[in-house]
């Protein structure tokens, strides 16, 4: 019984890591799309590759954990996109956005900390 719980914890841990990697890939892919100005250039191609890698990583992650734990973790992509927008696109963050980020990160920690 204890071995089964250890496997579930390790499996969810791998799945969580892959989901977070997926969120990073898709967020950076979308950033490159935005930087490409909708013309066929290297930024657009890199964006498609990163977004594709994010989708593949997400699909693989679902093999390593519970859907109810892993899928909500993709919302971390919104936080990453917000940060990338501020750093690279000179966007501003509103108070509502900051509150939203706090809720998203709290939810990720609560859901990601589940052991079953």
Output the tens digit of pLDDT for each of the chain's 116 residues. Answer: 455 544 455 667 889 899 999 999 999 999 999 998 877 899 999 999 999 999 999 999 999 888 888 888 888 999 999 999 999 999 999 999 999 999 988 988 887 665 55
Give the chain's domain count. Answer: 1
What is the C-alpha R_g of the chain?
A: 16
Structural domain harbouring 57: 2-112
Distance in angstroms (rounded) separating the CA atoms of residues 102 and 35: 27
pTM greater than the 0.85 cutoff = no
- Longest CA–CA span in the chain (Å) reads 56
Count of C-beta atoms within a 10 Å radius of residue 98? 11
């Amino acid at each position: 019984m204890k071995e089964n719980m250890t496997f579930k914890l390790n499996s969810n841990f791998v799945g969580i890591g892959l989901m977070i990697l997926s969120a990073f890939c898709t967020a950076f892919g979308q950033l490159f799309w935005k930087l490409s100005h909708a013309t066929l250039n290297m930024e657009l191609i890199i964006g498609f590759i990163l977004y594709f890698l994010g989708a593949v990583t997400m699909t693989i992650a679902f093999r390593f954990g519970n859907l109810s734990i892993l899928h909500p973790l993709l919302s971390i992509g919104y936080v990453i996109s917000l940060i990338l927008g501020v750093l690279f696109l000179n966007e501003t963050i509103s108070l509502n956005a900051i509150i939203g980020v706090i809720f998203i990160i709290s939810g990720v920690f609560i859901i990601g900390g589940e052991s079953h």
